[in-house]
Amino acid sequence: MTELSYLSAGELSSVGTPSLWAITIAGVIALLVLDFIVTRKPHEVSIKEALGWSAFYIALPLAFGAWVWSRFGSQQGVEYLTGYLVEKSLSVDNLFVFMLLLAAFAVPTELAQRVLLYGIAGALVLRAVFIALGAAALQTLDFAFLIFALILIFTAVKLLRDALTGHEQEVDINKMRSVRLLRKIMPVVEEYHGPRLTVRQQGRRALTPFALVVVAVLGTDIVFAVDSVPAVYGITEDPYLVFATNAFALLGLRALYFVLHAALSRLVHLSYGLAIILAFIGLKLGLHWAHGIWPGVPEIPTLASLGVIIGVLVVVTLTSLRATRNAGSGDKEIVAPRG
């Protein structure tokens, strides 16, 4: 978010030219196709494979950030890197819910990455829609920044409340609206049939449990997009950079899931850190909105935001590891902070 001036309605700018948008979208689609090709044959993901893909999906956005920095300047470079860090942090939080869903649906290990990939593809589409809506709101509504700020603060309060009360989200398949609706529309078989969404049973087309879990994951994507997109708009007002940060953060989730699977249950303080980060960005947005009305109101520089976000993540990671160092990762309950 630029600190030089307040962008009023209709003045939203973007570094993304039509050709750059086209190249970026084509690149994202190509990476998705590559992932679908890699996962076309169900198999259990080894730690070596997961680490290799994770390294690739970390190096790629960092290289892109270096290009943004050199091409458009340090301001856009810092905005991109800060936004990417926020989205990556929220993505790790999303993995908690994915773990719960995969466990609740008893997804075979060899099918887990294909389920995650469907979820990532759906999330990218939903984020693109929310990003476009957010850009339109910022262009036409001066108080859109305030709305985004309130969304983030509300989410932060919910996260903090759940963390303090020890709230755990339990997944009851039979109570999920999406599952109940699908079962009314079509019959559902009990067994998995690889990555197939439907099978023919007694002359009728029926859904597989794989189809149910994919729909459940897509449903959670909507919840995640509600706070993820406003959060990165709190860092940068550039729709292109918002899309790029979301895309790069999501594309690496498939591999990151298998790298962090054992460690996720040890990040017991992550929800506290995310609550602080979302509240901080909400404050930043609120101050930015107020600055447009009362110029004397100070704004929070993006570089300072980057420092705060990194500091919070480092602290909650260290405190989480310290709190769970004497406990086996398998003995910890997985807490789903959001959703």
293-329: pLDDT as tens digits: 888 888 888 888 889 988 998 998 899 888 888 655 4
Looking at the predicted structure, is the pLDDT value of residue 158 above 70? yes
> Is 299 domain-assigned?
yes
Report pLDDT for 30: 95
Beta-bridged to residue 204, according to DSSP, are 201
Helix, strand, coil % (nearest 5) of the chain?
Answer: 70, 5, 25
> Is 155 domain-assigned?
yes
Report pLDDT for 3: 39
| Rounded distance between C-alpha atoms, residue 45 and residue 39, angstroms | 10
Helix (H) or strand (E) holding 60, with range, is helix 47-72
Helix (H) or strand (E) holding 200, with range, is strand 198-201
Report pLDDT for 269: 86
> Is 264 domain-assigned?
yes
Q: How high does pLDDT run on average in the chain? A: 82
Give the number of C-alpha atoms closer than 13 A to the C-alpha of residue 294, restricted to the C-beta side: 6
pTM for the model stands at 0.81
Q: Which amino acid is at 54?
A: S
| Rounded distance between C-alpha atoms, residue 121 and residue 62, angstroms | 21
Most confident of 192-201, 241-250, 260-269: 241-250
> Is 69 domain-assigned?
yes
Which residues have CB under 8 Å from 238's CB, separation 6+? 13, 14, 15, 16, 76, 79
* 3-state class (DSSP) for residue 263: helix
Q: What is the tens place of the pLDDT at every residue in 48-78?
A: 888 898 899 999 999 999 999 999 999 999 9
| Rounded distance between C-alpha atoms, residue 157 and residue 174, angstroms | 29
How many domains is the chain partitioned into structurally? 1
Q: What is the tens place of the pLDDT at every residue in 171-206?
A: 566 667 777 788 888 888 888 888 888 988 877 888
| Rounded distance between C-alpha atoms, residue 156 and residue 8, angstroms | 27
| Rounded distance between C-alpha atoms, residue 115 and residue 113, angstroms | 5
Report pLDDT for 22: 93
Q: What is the tens place of the pLDDT at every residue in 10-43?
A: 445 567 788 999 999 999 999 999 988 888 887 8
> Is 8 domain-assigned?
no
> Is 251 domain-assigned?
yes
> Is 234 domain-assigned?
yes
In which domain, by residue range, is 158 found?
18-331
> Is 339 domain-assigned?
no
| Rounded distance between C-alpha atoms, residue 212 and residue 337, angstroms | 22
